[in-house]
Amino acid sequence: MVSQKRALVCGAGGFIGSHMVKKLKAQGFWVRGVDLKAPEFGETKADDFVMSDLRDPVVCAKVTDQPFDEVYQFAADMGGAGFVFTGENDAAIMHNSAMINLNILEAGRHARIRRIFYSSSACIYPEYNQMDPDNPNCSEDSAYPAAPDSDYGWEKLFSERLYMAYARNYGMDVHIARYHNIFGEEGTWTGGREKSPAALSRKVAETPDGGEIEIWGDGKQTRSFLYISECLEATQRLIRSDVMGPLNIGSEEMVTINRLAEMIMEIAGKKVGIRHIPGPLGVRGRRSDNRLIREKLGWAPSQPLREGLKVTYAWIAEQVKAAGGAGR
């Protein structure tokens, strides 16, 4: 009899982590999830859900007390531009996320955990390569000389190096992705930590036809967005490969924020005006460069942005309606 595979998901109460738990369960894994909080939208599917703080080394030792075939490290102090780019949360972001990574790696080393995935971010890329909204450079080898535009990005870069050092010195089987704006249903959609696809979907859903929504900046900044199921597929291809990375996991379909808002209006079947207001922005342009992941893993997104947006908008419109807003 083949024994059941086991996975540990750190950050299992979060957006990507809770989706990954579902996917692993559907694949027949026994799953332990760890997080400070339970998933916000629906019960966890994990067999064992440990509600604990991964900044604590004792917790990290406890949750790694048995062999795992795959460990996914998604836990981080995380947020949209409203949380990450104001400067007000920098110390907490750096302290909390670095502590989690330091502790889980050390515990994992003692527990002889081998295969571990780390979720880094496009935010590690230097600001100087992302000033032109039409031609951002986010190829993996452009990360150095380092100049991320946020302390969130600096912590991710530090932790990438930490994981690579554990691979080099302790033989851990490390796999690192740099995620570019992952979005989808059952993600934060209100409260200040939501990212632009969710924030704009909420604003459009809340606004009656002919009304007006606000967008930070001139809306000409560009980004690319990857739907959650594509992200999970790429992540598993990476952890199950012999590639350490870091590899970009994102979409090459670049849109301005104004265009993203229009796409959402088209999906909603509404026309609302856009008012541009000052707000935290981040870099002018950013897009995933998928050349390396195509070459190494043969992966590329299977669907255009619009398909994921349709599902996400429908889900957010339901949330808005349930909260007493306009809904559609």
Positions annotated as catalytic residues are 152
Beta carbons of 119 and 86 less than 8 angstroms apart: no
Question: Mask: binding to ligand NAD, 132-171, rule CB under 6 A, as x and -?
Answer: ----------------------------------------
Distance CA 44, CA 294 (A): 32
Shorter beta-carbon distance to ligand NAD: residue 247 or 272? 247
Q: How far is the CB of 233 from ligand NAD (least distance, A)?
A: 15
Question: Using alpha carbons only, what angle is made at residue 219 by residues 206 and 311, rounded to the nearest 5 degrees?
Answer: 45
Q: Is 245 helix (H, G, I), strand (E, B) or coil?
A: coil
Walk across the sheet containing 173-179 and list its strands. Answer: 48-51, 30-35, 6-10, 70-73, 115-121, 173-179, 247-249
C-alpha 255/C-alpha 222 separation (Å) is 5
Q: Binding string, 101-130, against ligand NAD, x = CB under 6 A?
A: ------------------x-x---------
CA distances from 284 to 133, 194, 242 (A): 5, 19, 34
Dihedral sign computed on CA atoms, order 234, 293, 148, 115: positive
Which tokens is 62 given? Answer: 């406890």
Closest contact distance (angstroms) between CB of 187 and ligand NAD is: 7
Residues in contact with ligand NAD, counted by CB under 6 A, come to a total of 25
Whichever of 57 and 327 has its CB closer to ligand NAD, that residue is 57
* C-beta of 93 vs 267, nearer to ligand NAD: 93
Q: How far from chain centre, in Å, is Cα 247?
A: 14
CA distances (Å), 41 to each of 37, 96, 186, in order?
11, 24, 6
- Least Å distance between CB 12 and ligand NAD? 7
CB closer to ligand NAD, 40 vs 209 = 40
Q: How far is the CB of 107 from ligand NAD (least distance, A)?
A: 13
| Cis preceding-peptide flag for 145 (omega within 30 of 0) | yes
Residue among 143, 170, 175 nearest 73 (CA): 175
Site string for ligand NAD, 14-43 (x = CB under 6 A): xxxx----------------xxxx------
Which of 42, 75, 35, 270 is CA-nearest to residue 156?
75
Each residue 67-96 as x (binds ligand NAD by CB under 6 A) or -, in order, gives -------xxxxx-----------------x
Q: Which of 74, 73, 84, 246 is nearest to 151 (CA)?
A: 84
Q: Within 13 Å of residue 210, how many CA atoms lie on the same side as its CB?
A: 0
- The minimum distance between CB 102 and ligand NAD, in angstroms, equals 12
Q: C-beta of 275: minimal distance to ligand NAD in Å? A: 26
Question: Which residue's CB comes closest to ligand NAD?
Answer: 14
Contact stretch for ligand NAD (CB under 6 A) within 25-33, 174-182, 214-222, 254-262? 174-182
Nearer to ligand NAD, 180 or 203 (CB): 180
147 and 153 in contact (C-beta within 8 Å)? no
User: CB-wise, 100 or 205, nearer to ligand NAD?
Assistant: 100
Assess 54 for contact with ligand NAD (CB under 6 A): yes
Contacts with ligand NAD, residue ranges (CB under 6 A): 11, 13-17, 34-37, 53-55, 74-78, 96, 100, 119, 121, 179, 181-182
